[in-house]
């Protein structure tokens, strides 16, 4: 397992990050704890969660994934000190007007709730989940900076921010002497390259921001579990995801998958592992976020640990997935 610096900070995180969106949703607590145990045994020290995971599941008020992670941390002495915990704020956790957003009042309330659920005194990485058009960058960064000064948060990051918002935030932090973002969490994979590569990649490389891509397997499409011309298997994400359904009808998506199969066969690697290997071989990428909902899925993801593609493999995948 390789450990990489988070941007320009001294914090070291594993080359794969354990995502927890499935915890309390498609993976019950017992399964989630087993997955976390196996991930730890494999050397993963980086866990990403969010307060709203998985509020969309029936009967789930939100905070379930954070609670599961907190239960896991408490189950073993010293585990907290060995683990880098990242969570996020922005989404609705109630029905009242101030139960969501990036205002000072909500951020202060949300971080206290996340600390309680996680059972920790400090969150290692606290991230904006997505923008809030009604809160100024100064208010949000000011609230975040206060949390750092109080010792409740160590590092800051943002997710789903376009390049201009990242620049705006970095400049505001520099101007007002506030703690800047250390990393970004973009939606980035072989089927969704332009969103990151068009502008955000340059910003991240120029300013030394860590990059922890989510959905590295394109919602499961790049695992190879779908078959061209066939209906998606029951219970897969394609049943409810319009984005995945769109890829099922895109010739380029199938071409990318076929190239992953061909290149992977020469290395005895699956399409999933090659897709992760492509990200791990990209400049500036810190730690792709995997989201297994079973032990078998985790094991296959772990097959990408240490995988670095050579120039020919990278060029072949870049060409077949070209967005311009």
Which residues are catalytic, by number? 53
Q: How many CB atoms lie within 10 A of CB 40?
A: 18
The residue among 284, 118, 268, 285 whose CA lies nearest residue 276 is 285
H helix intervals, the chain: 29-41, 64-74, 79-82, 104-118, 137-149, 163-176, 194-197, 200-207, 242-248, 251-267, 271-280, 295-302, 311-320
Q: How far is CA 142 from the centre of its chain?
A: 24
Cis peptide before 189 (omega within 30 of 0): no
The residue among 39, 34, 60, 62 whose CA lies nearest residue 49 is 62
DSSP 117-164: HHT-S-EEEEEE-S--TTS-HHHHHHHHHHHHHTTSEEEEEEES--HH
Task: Rounding to the nearest 10 degrees, give the CA dihedral for residues 249, 253, 255, 256.
Answer: -170
Judging by DSSP bridges, how do beta strands 3-5 and 12-14 pair with one another?
A: antiparallel
Pairwise CA distance, residues 244 & 90, whole Å = 25
Q: How many CB atoms lie within 10 A of CB 105?
A: 11
Phi, psi of 80 (to 5 degrees): -60, -40
CB 72 within 8 A of CB 236: no
């Amino acid at each position: 397992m390789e450990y990489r610096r988070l941007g320009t900070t001294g914090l070291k995180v594993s080359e794969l990050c354990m995502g927890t969106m499935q915890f309390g949703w498609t993976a019950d607590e017992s399964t989630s704890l087993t997955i976390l145990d196996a991930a730890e045994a494999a050397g993963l020290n980086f866990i990403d969660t969010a307060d709203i995971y998985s509020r969309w599941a029936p009967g789930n008020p939100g905070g379930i994934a954070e609670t599961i992670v907190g239960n896991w941390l408490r189950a073993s002495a010293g585990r907290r000190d060995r683990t880098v915990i990242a969570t996020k704020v922005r989404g609705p956790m109630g029905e009242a007007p101030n139960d969501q957003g990036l205002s000072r009042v909500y951020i202060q309330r949300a971080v206290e709730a996340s600390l309680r659920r996680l059972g920790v005194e400090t969150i290692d990485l606290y991230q904006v989940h997505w923008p809030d058009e009604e809160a100024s960058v100064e208010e949000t960064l000011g609230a975040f900076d206060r949390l750092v000064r109080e010792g409740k948060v160590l590092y800051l990051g943002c997710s789903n921010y376009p390049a201009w918002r990242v620049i705006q935030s970095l400049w505001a932090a520099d101007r007002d002497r506030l703690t800047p973002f250390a990393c970004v969490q973009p939606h980035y994979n072989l089927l969704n390259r332009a969103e990151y590569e068009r502008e955000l990649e340059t910003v991240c490389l120029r300013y030394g921001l860590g990059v922890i891509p989510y959905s590295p397997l394109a919602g499961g499409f790049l695992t190879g579990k779908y078959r061209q011309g066939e209906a998606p298997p029951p219970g897969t994400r394609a049943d409810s995801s319009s984005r995945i359904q769109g890829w099922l009808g895109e010739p380029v998506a199938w071409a990318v998958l076929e190239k992953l199969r061909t290149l992977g066969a020469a290395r005895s690697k699956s399409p999933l592992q090659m897709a992760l290997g492509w990200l791990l071989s990209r400049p500036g990428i810190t730690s792709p976020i995997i989201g297994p909902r079973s032990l078998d899925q985790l094991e296959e993801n772990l097959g990408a640990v240490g995988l670095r593609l050579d120039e020919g493999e990278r060029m072949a995948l870049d060409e077949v997935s070209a967005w311009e």
